[in-house]
Amino acid sequence: MKKVLMVGLACLDIVNVSDGFPAEDTDVRLKEQIWSRGGNASNSAVVLSQLGTHTAFMGTLAKHRLSDLIVDDLIKYGVSSDLCRYHKDTMTPTSCVILNTAEGTRTILHANKTLPELCVEDFMKADLCNYQWIHFEGRNNVSQILLMIENVEKFNKELLSASSSASASTNSCSQTPAPRPITVSVELEKATRVLHLLDLLDKGHVVFISKDVAKHKGYNTAEAAVKGFHSQCDTTCTIICAWGEHGACAIGPDGIVVSSPAFPPAKLVDTLGAGDTFNAAVIHALNKGDMSLLEAITFGCKIAGKKCGQHGFDLTMQ
């Protein structure tokens, strides 16, 4: 069975759970501290795998003992990391997170001094015949991501061309269904990178826009965001925007906006990675092909709501 490939960051999360946000120059006793695997693409990969999608993760890793924690956690959830590129003499990226339980907020301090981003040469080692959906997390290597997507587009064209030639040379009564091209999705999350990330806007069949990017571009609601971004790109793509406690909106090639409410947990515990969880659940639903766009984003909001009621990404937790 073909897999979904998630391309992006894997890092170490050091999650500090506090009753409030610490004041400057104070000594605070934490409620809890959790060390775990993190990173948008790797978080989404773990959620996807638990939902029943065969999943692989591709990114760069340091040849360092902390990478063992990351890889072991991916393996625990059935996510392949065979395509990862290891770099010597580098450090594992870390995110120090402050979870303010009083306000339900999370503040992330990220450090990545030495680990290079994935390049197109690394990506081209993947056998694209093994994948039916590839998701790219928009990072600092936008120029390289564009080349990776170009590689996928070339593969899709050759696949469809070969299928057409084969169909023309056989009896129509014995024709088999045309092969399914790879679906490409991209995530535009960081407002600080928006000038570069917008180069990816019309490169994905499915585009996930974050609330931060939408607000940075002047949109104050998810509906306004999906309409605005959809008008700037190929109308055959699908634009999706999650808006936290206000749910999510999406617009497909038909130009119809659909909306889902949020499904908050009985008790808000941890919003870290809620967006990654939403993205994974939507990709799972759309990849299966048995849900409408509205059903897919509603499913995404439900799974993200479940995640917000617990620490971490183990969907078996209650």
Q: How many domains does the chain have?
A: 1
Strand 94-100 to strand 105-111: parallel, antiparallel, or no bridges (unpaired)? antiparallel
Distance CA 293, CA 257 (A): 10
Domain annotation covers residue 120: yes
Q: Give 18-52 pLDDT, tens digit per residue.
A: 999 999 999 999 999 999 999 999 999 999 999 99
| DSSP symbol at 140 | S
Domain annotation covers residue 216: yes
Nearest one of 57, 37, 2 to 280, comparing CA atoms = 57
Domain annotation covers residue 172: no
All residues at 6 or more sequence positions from 168 whose CB lies less than 8 Å from its CB, including other chains: none
Domain annotation covers residue 174: no
Domain annotation covers residue 152: yes
Domain annotation covers residue 59: yes
Distance CA 19, CA 17 (A): 7
> Residue 161 has what pLDDT?
86
Domain annotation covers residue 169: no
All residues at 6 or more sequence positions from 51 whose CB lies less than 8 Å from its CB, including other chains: 280, 281, 284, 303, 315
Domain annotation covers residue 113: yes
Cβ proximity of 44 and 55 under 8 Å: no
Q: How many helices (H) and strands (E) does the chain have?
A: 9, 14
Nearest one of 88, 118, 121, 106 to 10, comparing CA atoms = 118
Burial class (CB in 10 A: 0-12, 13-18, 19+), 121: exposed
Q: Give 3-22 pLDDT, tens digit per residue.
A: 999 999 999 999 999 999 99
Strand 32-38 to strand 85-87: parallel, antiparallel, or no bridges (unpaired)? unpaired
> Residue 173 has what pLDDT?
47
Tracing tokens 């515990």 back to the chain, one arrives at 269
> Residue 4 has what pLDDT?
98
CATH for 66: 3.40.1190.20
Sites in the chain below the pLDDT cut of 70: 166-178, 318
| DSSP symbol at 23 | P
pTM for the structure as a whole: 0.94
Question: Could you give the C-alpha distances from 112 to 151, 220, 307, in angstroms and in order?
Answer: 27, 31, 26
Cβ proximity of 131 and 3 under 8 Å: yes
- 258 is in which domain, residue-wise? 3-19+32-163+180-308
> Residue 164 has what pLDDT?
72
φ, ψ at 95 (rounded to 5°): -120, 115
Nearest one of 275, 296, 240 to 38, comparing CA atoms = 275
Distance CA 145, CA 15 (A): 29
Measured from the Cβ of residue 215, the count of other Cβ atoms closer than 10 Å reads: 14
Question: Could you give the C-alpha distances from 131 to 3, 85, 146, 172, in angstroms and in order?
Answer: 5, 18, 18, 28
Burial class (CB in 10 A: 0-12, 13-18, 19+), 162: exposed
Question: Could you give the C-alpha distances from 80 to 56, 59, 149, 195, in angstroms and in order?
Answer: 4, 11, 21, 32
